[in-house]
Amino acid sequence: MSLSPRLLALATAVPPHALGQEEVVERVKRLFGRSVELDRLLPVFVNSDITRRYSTVPIEWYDEPHGWAERNRRYLTGALDLLEIVAGRVLDHAGLAAGELGGIVTVSTTGVATPSLDALLIERMRLPRNIARLPIFGLGCAGGVVGLARAADMAAALPGKPVLCLVVELCALSFRRDDLAKSNIVATALFGDGAAAGLLRCDSTSQSPAIIATGEHTWPGSLDIMGWDIADDGLKAVFSRDIPRLMQAELKPAVDDFLARQGLRRADVDRFVCHPGGPKVLDAFEEVFGLEPGALADARGVLRDYGNMSAASVLFVLERMLARSGAEASAWGRALMIALGPGFTAGFAMLGER
């Protein structure tokens, strides 16, 4: 039997500027001015259950208008800084050198980089010149799970070689100071910046969780559920209020189909590692999986402490669960990772002992 890729190590990082939710609310009031429309939208900040988030730029930066070119320059600088930090951490955790890497998967949807972030990181960190590269753009919040799945595929194709999965999202840079649309206010209430890294390798000696199976499901007629619109001053968030309803109505069959292909049912899953897109999203996950309200405590804790960091968030949740429950596969049983993103797509990954 071929070896399954194992998650040797995991690391996360956030930028230096902490944004308290109350501070953000006061800033929003000052920038937009008080109005009936804003007063109607302000409860979303309290209802987000977020205490603080982190930003790659100080809060004063958001006071001034910024065009697409400047925002993307900030994205490139901030993303590379975070990726270098988190890549260094995960290599240290695993006791490996950068020169040992066989592949790198880089996931991000909050800016544009050509050459891609992985190529830029090769120069900065002196990664191997023959390293296999896979940059991934456009998956949004689903990118952490799907990126981990692609890294597992690459590790399986490179037996014995470690593969680095990097995820970075600088969501806060999308704030639009002249846009009182509900989608912009919701994004302003939810989004934070962060990065995560996972290191995978097919390893017969490691006791860490294996990536047992991966999969995806994309719903028909759902392209307008979530994504970005491109405006002159940057990326503009697209959210549908139907996301929780769609999850409650249609996620169960997709999950059941994925599990059935592994010979499993929902009752066979011991843990759920869910993307904390917002309180209503977590409520919907708990309903779909038949969990008690509030059962996804680690996901809710990540949302509270970091906000929604898009693709990076689910790996923050996984890190928190590993720290609390132990990193050995024998202590995990089966864990289902799940995140939803533009497409509208669900990404699945099953972790556990092979």
Tell me the pLDDT tens digit for each residue of 31-69. 888 888 888 889 989 999 999 999 999 999 998 888 899
Tracing tokens 């999850």 back to the chain, one arrives at: 247
> In this predicted structure, what is the pLDDT of residue 326?
67
What is the tens place of the pLDDT at every residue in 66-90? 889 999 999 999 999 999 999 999 9
Q: Which residue has the higher pLDDT, 3 or 16?
A: 16
Domains of the chain: 5-202 (3.40.47.10), 210-352 (3.40.47.10)
Torsion of CA 348, 202, 9, 103, to 10 degrees: -90
Distances (CA, A) of 165 to 50, 133, 250, 314, 318: 27, 10, 29, 13, 14
Please report the pLDDT score of residue 331 as a whole number: 67
- The token duo for 26 is 């006061």
Average pLDDT over residues 330-346: 87
Angle between helices 243-260 and 279-288 (to 10 degrees): 40
- Coil, strand or helix at 240: coil
Average pLDDT, whole number, for the chain? 91
Listed residue (177, 9, 26, 184) closest to 101, CA to CA: 9
For residue 191, what is the DSSP state? B
Res 328: pLDDT: 61
CB 306 within 8 A of CB 316: yes
List Cβ neighbours of 190 (8 Å cut-off, separation of 6 or more).
Answer: 48, 50, 277, 278, 307, 308
Q: Please give the model's pTM, rounded to 2 decimal places.
A: 0.94
Q: Name 61's Cβ contacts closer than 8 Å, sequence gap at least 6.
A: 55
CB atoms inside a 10 Å sphere around CB 294: 10
pLDDT value for 183: 83
pLDDT given at position 243: 80
Give the pLDDT score at 1: 47
For the chain, the residue count is 354
pLDDT digits (tens, 9 = 90+) for 177-206: 877 788 888 888 999 999 999 999 998 777
CA–CA separation, 169 and 109 (whole Å): 7
Residue-wise pLDDT for 283-314, tens only, equals: 999 999 999 999 999 999 999 999 999 999 99
Q: b/e string for 317-350 if b means 16 or more Cβ within 10 A? A: bbbbbbeeeebebeebebbbbbbbbbbbbbbbbb
Which 3 state secondary structure label does DSSP give 148? helix
Residues 245 and 241: their CA atoms lie apart, in Å, by 8
pLDDT, tens only, 225-277: 888 888 888 888 887 777 877 887 888 999 999 999 999 998 899 999 999 99
Place of tokens 């100080």: 58
Instruction: Compute the distance between CA of residue 339 and CA of residue 348 in angstroms, rounded to an integer.
Output: 7
Quick check: is 165 catalytic?
A: no
Rounded percentage of the chain residues whose pLDDT exceeds 70: 97
Cβ-based neighbours of 158, under 8 Å, separated by 6 or more:
102, 103, 132
Band the pLDDT of 124: cuts 50, 70, 90.
very high
Number of H helices, E strands in the chain: 11, 13
Per DSSP, the three-state class of 97 is coil
Residue 255 tokens, joined: 């999950």
Confidence of residue 354 (pLDDT cuts 50, 70, 90): low
Contacts of 77 (CB under 8 A, 6+ apart): 56
**What is the pLDDT at residue 37?**
85
Environment class of 183 (CB within 10 Å of its CB; exposed 0-12, middle 13-18, buried 19+): middle
Please list the residues that pair with 105 across neighbouring strands.
Answer: 134, 165
pLDDT at 163 over 70: yes
Do the Cβ atoms of 111 and 75 come closer than 8 Å?
Answer: yes
By three-state DSSP, how is residue 218 classified? strand
Residue 164 has pLDDT above 80, yes or no: yes
State the pLDDT at residue 23.
Answer: 93
pLDDT at res. 137: 95
Distance CA 148, CA 102 (A): 15
Q: Which two tokens stand for residue 193?
A: 């910046």
pLDDT of residue 242: 73
